[in-house]
Structure 1
């Protein structure tokens, strides 16, 4: 039996558990909607970024887009991010510093810190309400916090809730866990203040966009704005600034992300991909993972990875190896197909 057929059959038998899981999440959501459990409204303005599905909708690129947008419009020292810090070995609230690693704050917060740490306060904390209160004491000038992966975190009431949906995995065709990948039932989309369809192809026809919006409207609030965005793949960067040469034409792709399909397709289209060494999301790399890859690197074969993986992989190479070996990572960003001005206006209204 083909894997896809097996998954369909398995999903059918798991459907009763999905109904139960959906019921439990419904009860939880109703308890907050009816104020039986209370959501806290922090003193900072809160923008929540999240999704209905498990993993891989492009939350980190969207967080970085928001940070870049606000960093160019607000004074330094007034913006922060807060995430759980998946994959870290520490507990509790932490403010990122130069001494931190992926093991102390997580790979994605470390990636964001490397880009925005001079302008933005990057924090982690699994208890968001307590973390926000602590942040208000330690950094009282901060009045805007981007909450990463917080769509289901009902104890905090955001001022703006941004729901992401992967173009390749629409929530309106999915089911709650374990038969599907949804963290809650589809109508959870009605809490969103705006919805961004991510990872869209650049040439997505308007008719297709309109069809997607109609499907989304079955579950969202009436009038909720829907935007379409794709990923921009930039020029690969070397691990070491001393390595100034171009990337070799043949690559071994190394990833530890939730949904590597679009990236793999891009790499295959742009380069000669010899193979894809694929690890689980937030994988904690060891030197043993890399030794057999290093053996295959040469003047015309490079290791190519993601920004998220680079912050962990770099720690396993010596400075000499980073200068000598062809080690590269591929930066990505968010590009709206249209409507980016309207998106910005909504962000501005939130702050005003």
Structure 2
């Protein structure tokens, strides 16, 4: 695989040229960007998948929704619907996509919408629900909308500064795209990351922007729709650990005991009937623990008393108050993103 990626280097150069030209045309106003008269915060990355966008969106929802009418707008990756969809009581993970459906179920006071055309999606939200803040999920490269504030995520151990353009590397665009960000968050850090290492990473990133460091905070319980179980009580329980996310190793490492069986599927995977039967046959007399994103797709297909999920949150290693204040200052002083 590594050799193949090296052989594809000429295509990476071509892809990098095309994305750089596109960004240049947007930067110069030759290609049109649209802005809106409410705070719009975009969360995204330069690489493909696995940087922790979902926990970061949820962090912003928790920060902002107590005082503002918040809406999220995603493209609804791998959903089985088209165009603009506003979540309601009839919505499913298949209609919205797993991450938007997760927002909808966890945060009933916010509006959740999906639309591949972010400009159209914002216009429809403003005409239908009139939110005070819109959070754009995975929209860093969606240049047709000019957000008022950009949060760029990069994962610890997989920094964009150490990567290369697709298909040789995993970058969707040149590292120079980081200059569009207002802040950068290095996600999935070890909880005990030292200040010295933080400073070293800041130098590697090579940007003159505020850089924050966050870690994944796992819950001490697993849940289903009716009950919860303490993780500490499950260490000796024989179980199936199942994940269909981009980088599942930390999830498995947190829960795994020697007797556990691991089942791994592609990110945003839609489970077939044969796969469900295979899961059920391997999980006889066992519980199944999965991720929140997988739970919303599996819970209608597997016995409810058998299936549990492990919640996670984004937690700042330090300087959380500083980050919060930057966001609140933007929202509080924003009179439009023009």
TM-score range, shorter chain: over 0.9
Alignment of 1:1-352 (within 5 A): 6-7=1-2, 9-72=3-66, 74-75=67-68, 78-116=69-107, 118-140=108-130, 142-217=131-206, 220=207, 222=208, 224-241=209-226, 247=234, 249-268=237-256, 271-272=257-258, 274-297=260-283, 299=285, 301-317=286-302, 321-323=303-305, 326-352=306-332
Structure 2 CA distance for partners of 1:65 and 1:28, relative to 1, 3 Å: same
Deviations 1:38-66 (A, max 9, x none): 21111221000000000111000000000
CA distance in 1, matches of 2:5, 2:197: 28
**3-state SS of the aligned residue for 2:239?**
strand
| TM-score between the two structures when normalised by the length of structure 1 | 0.89
CA deviation profile, 1:74-112 (whole Å, cap 9, x unmatched): 14xx21000000111111111101211111110010011
CA apart distance, 1:242: 5.5
How many residue pairs match? The answer is 329
- What's the offset of the Cα at 1:298? 5.1
Comparing 196-205 with 245-254, greater Cα deviation is found at 245-254
When residues 340 and 86 of structure 1 are mapped into structure 2, their CA distance, relative to the original with a 3 A threshold, is same
**1:3 matched to which residue of 2?**
none
CA RMSD between the two structures = 1.7
Q: Hey, what's the Cα distance between the residues in 1 that align with 2:227 and 2:275?
A: 25
User: Unaligned stretches of 5+ in structure 1?
Assistant: 1-5
Cα gap change, 1:240 to 1:130, in 2 (>3 Å): closer
When the two structures are superposed, what TM-score results if normalisation uses the length of structure 2?
0.93
| Alpha-carbon offset, residue 297 of structure 1 | 3.0
